[in-house]
Amino acid sequence: MVKPKFFPTFQKLFFMSKVGKAFGMLLGKKPDVPTPSSVVYEKLEVKSGAGRMLFVVGTVLVVVSIIAATLFIKPISMRTLEDFGALFSNSTRLAYVIGFLASLVPPALVMFWIFRSDRYEPEPRYALAVAIGVGAALSAVASPLVILGKWGLIGLLAAPFIYESFKVAGLVVLLTSKLQKELNDHVDGFVYGAAVGTGFAVVNSSVAFIISYLSPAPALMLLGTPVAGLVLIQALNSVLHILSGGFAGFWLGYERVLDGVVDGRDLIPALTIALVIGYLGTIPEVLGVAGIALKTVIVGYFLYTTERILMAALKDEVAWGYAEGKAPVES
């Protein structure tokens, strides 16, 4: 009996499509680059004054979100020893502020690793700061919309779509600005997408901590305190924000390598892979502690696939002569 060949044929055609190639990235397979376009050698010259201004603007947007996490929480009077001791109780401002800062440590380490991986054409700091600032600004709109919305299951299902759409919109902002010359290959795309995700994650985490403090209704208690559970959840969420933005940016950078430009059709695969990561990270939250364990495994898996596709993409840059001084590094 001859077995039907429909499924193998469909599978082959699927992974030859743009969406299929994008899904292949989630499995650690970098799409092939037959012949790169000339954009991989484009170079953006920015005057130092403009660079400093953009760096300051991007940095201020992130710093403001950190300050907000402190100032918007009810201050505590420090008149007696009891008041001083209250600072260290599980329900005080200091516990939440320290928890917020602690939740930023894992994503900061991941972001540092991603930045360091861009070894042949490191991105200028002002450009990364702008990308982080764009993500922070968009998160200032999206995060309150999701976190303050008491939508139950509908909100849980809508959250990843809102978040990932805003992050991809941030990449569109970069690609329609002068910085598009910096986002000129897939490694750069991952770096800038991760930078947008970083700014998004910082503001998202600050909003989550503020709301949790003002309306304590923890979904997860660890070590007898809601703060510990919130730190763990937000640290994992922040890493996933960085990686989903990175994968979306990688795809858009890949399209720049192939065609020199990015059009509306290229946004569909970028948003699709970001949504897959977003939903895989959100659904486990309904499972409590077991869900957190599952989310930790998911984060570990995507860190592994990130390492695989970035190392493969760096080999493309070597083939283009980046390692021999042909990389368009700004002077």
3-state secondary structure the chain: CCCCCHHHHHHHHHHHCHHHHHHHHHCCCCCCCCCCCHHHHCCCCCCHHHHHHHHHHHHHHHHHHHHHHHHCCCCCCCCCHHHHHHCCCCCCHHHHHHHHHHHCHHHHHHHHHHHHHCCCCCCCHHHHHHHHHHHHHHHHHHHHHHHCCCCCHHHHHHHHHHHHHHHHHHHHHHHCCHHHHCCCCHHHHHHHHHHHHHHHHHHHHHHHHHHHHHCCCCCCCECCEHHHHHHHHHHHHHHHHHHHHHHHHHHHHHHHHHHCCCCHHHHHHHHHHHHHHHHHHHHHHHHCHHHHHHHHHHHHHHHHHHHHHHHHHHHHHHHCCHHHCCCCCCC
- Which pLDDT band holds residue 6 (cuts at 50, 70, 90)? very low
Tens digits of per-residue pLDDT, 273-312?
999 999 998 877 777 777 788 888 999 999 999 999 898 8
Tens digits of per-residue pLDDT, 90-146?
455 677 778 888 889 999 999 999 988 888 777 888 888 889 988 998 998 888 888
Higher pLDDT among residues 239 and 322, named by residue: 239
Q: Check if the beta carbon of residue 323 is closer than 8 Å to that of residue 120.
A: yes
How many structural domains comprise the chain? Answer: 1
Residue 17 lies in a domain: no
Confidence at residue 89, expressed as pLDDT on a 0 to 100 scale: 52
Residue 217 lies in a domain: yes
Which structural domain, as residue segments, surrounds residue 228? Answer: 42-324
| CA separation for the pair 138, 131 (Å, rounded) | 11
Residue 63 lies in a domain: yes
Residue 331 lies in a domain: no
Confidence at residue 11, expressed as pLDDT on a 0 to 100 scale: 47
Residue 37 lies in a domain: no
Tell me the residue type at 319: A
Q: Is the pLDDT of residue 79 over 80?
A: no
| CA separation for the pair 231, 98 (Å, rounded) | 9
In the chain, the N- to C-terminal Cα span, in Å, equals 67
Residue 114 lies in a domain: yes
Sign of the dihedral defined by the CA atoms of residues 257, 262, 268, 271, in that order: positive
Residue 170 lies in a domain: yes
To 5 degrees, how large is the angle CA 130–CA 107–CA 316? 70
Residue 103 lies in a domain: yes
**Confidence (pTM):** 0.80
